[in-house]
């Protein structure tokens, strides 16, 4: 079992945004394919990228996330595997590791193993793009009295179904691990509570300097750093950290 196996049935309801898609499509058009997405989830990005005419391989460790992705059609080549060491047998013009998949790597060794593997799967001059959340110090410090339960969001589907998410988080600065306990409530259109569950998820928070340094150690040269998908400069107020790098 992987952390996302038990979340796969809710994933597309929970994350239906696509504001980042034009950014990755524009890069894929500029760079040329084939494209590999590492930690592709249920294909939120991989499927529309393939539908826009790119040859896309999606690598994902959770079997049920892969199953969810495969239900969306045949345009994507799915590989169930671990991005730290999956071997795809071909090189790619562009690689994407987006929406915090990189933060699922819980140690420096795991992150470096992935970056080295990603490098092995790029053609000379190919591009790796990594996008992660940029956390503010406030988001990583406990309020006085300790961690508290927060209401994260409400999602509403056209059929009236509603998903509520609450969470309680604890950040350990020594390990850079952010431990989250997520609470989901799924309501039918009629308002009846259909499902209620708790789920533990841990990510490792990574800042700009560490990411750049790890990329260099893994044999990349950093080409650009952005604070968002409009290509904004990265600064103290950025919610996102995007780094583009090429093998040296
Ligand atoms: C937050 S989701 C992001 C999914 C997708 N990139 C998106 O934009 O919707 C993180 C995904 O990375 C996957 N993942 C975590 N560790 C992985 C690993 N070592 N190898 C491959 N996939 C991994 C998880 O199973 C999960 O589906």
| CATH number of the domain bearing residue 97 | 3.40.50.150
Does 76 share its domain with 187?
A: no
Does 60 share its domain with 157?
A: no
State the average pLDDT for the chain. 96
Look at residue 1 in the predicted model and tell me its pLDDT. 78
- Residue 52 in contact with ligand 1 by CB distance below 6 A: no
CA 29/CA 235 separation, integer angstroms: 27
- Residue 98 in contact with ligand 1 by CB distance below 6 A: yes
What CATH number is attached to the domain comprising 172?
2.20.25
Does 199 share its domain with 213?
A: no
CA 182/CA 201 separation, integer angstroms: 7
- Residue 84 in contact with ligand 1 by CB distance below 6 A: yes
Look at residue 190 in the predicted model and tell me its pLDDT. 87
pLDDT in tens, 131-190: 999 999 988 988 888 889 999 999 999 999 999 999 999 999 999 999 999 999 999 988
- For the beta sheet containing 122-133, the strands, ordered from the edge strand earlier in sequence to the opposite edge, are 76-80, 56-60, 35-38, 92-97, 122-133, 240-247, 220-226
For residue 100, the ligand 1 atom closest to its alpha carbon is 1
Give the DSSP letter string of 116-184.
HHHHHTEEEEEEEEEEEE---GGGGSPPTTS---EEEEEEE-TTS-EEEEEEEEEEETTTTEEEEEEEE
Does 72 share its domain with 115?
A: yes
Does 44 share its domain with 153?
A: no
Strand 177-187 relative to strand 193-204, pairing: antiparallel
CA 65/CA 17 separation, integer angstroms: 17
Other C-beta atoms closer than 10 Å to the C-beta of 204 total 20
Number of domains in the chain: 2
Q: Whose CA is nearest to atom 19 of ligand 1?
A: 82
Does 108 share its domain with 143?
A: no
| C-alpha 144 to ligand 1 mean position (Å) | 33
Q: What percent of the chain has pLDDT over 70?
A: 100
> Cα dihedral angle (216, 22, 126, 42), rounded to 10 degrees?
80
Does 70 share its domain with 16?
A: yes
pLDDT in tens, 184-217: 999 998 889 999 999 999 999 999 999 999 999 9
Does 173 share its domain with 101?
A: no
Segment 214-233 shows an average pLDDT of 98
Cis upstream peptide for 34 (omega within 30°): yes
Q: Is 216 helix (H, G, I), strand (E, B) or coil?
A: helix
N-terminal to C-terminal alpha carbon distance within the chain: 36
Does 169 share its domain with 106?
A: no
Q: Whose CA is nearest to atom 23 of ligand 1?
A: 39
CA 108/CA 101 separation, integer angstroms: 14
Does 114 share its domain with 60?
A: yes
* E strand or H helix at 60: strand 56-60
Does 34 share its domain with 150?
A: no
Range of the domain at 106: 5-134+206-247
Does 211 share its domain with 117?
A: yes
239 pLDDT tier (thresholds 50, 70, 90): very high
> Closest Cα partner for 197 from 177, 169, 167?
167
């Amino acid at each position: 079992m992987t952390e996302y196996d038990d979340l796969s049935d809710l994933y597309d309801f929970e994350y239906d945004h696509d504001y980042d898609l034009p950014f990755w499509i524009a890069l894929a058009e500029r760079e040329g394919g084939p494209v590999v997405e590492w930690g592709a989830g249920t294909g939120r990005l991989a499927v529309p990228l393939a539908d826009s005419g790119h040859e896309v391989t999606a690598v994902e460790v959770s079997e049920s996330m892969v199953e969810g992705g495969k239900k969306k059609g045949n345009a994507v080549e799915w590989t169930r595997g671990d991005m730290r060491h999956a071997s795809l047998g071909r090189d790619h013009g562009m690689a994407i590791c987006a929406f915090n998949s990189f933060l699922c790597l819980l140690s420096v060794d795991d992150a470096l193993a992935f970056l080295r593997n990603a490098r092995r799967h790029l053609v000379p001059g190919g591009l790796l793009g990594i996008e992660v959340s940029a956390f503010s110090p406030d988001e990583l410090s406990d309020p006085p009295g300790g961690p508290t339960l927060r209401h994260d969001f409400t999602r509403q589907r056209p059929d009236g179904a509603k998903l509520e998410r609450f969470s309680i988080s604890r950040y350990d600065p020594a390990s850079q691990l952010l431990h989250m306990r997520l609470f989901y409530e799924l309501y039918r259109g009629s308002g009846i509570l259909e499902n209620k569950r708790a789920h533990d998820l841990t990510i490792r928070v990574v800042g700009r300097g560490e990411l750049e340094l790890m990329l260099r150690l893994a044999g990349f040269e950093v080409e650009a750093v952005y604070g968002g998908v409009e290509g904004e400069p990265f600064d103290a107020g950025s919610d996102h950290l995007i780094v583009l790098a090429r093998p040296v």
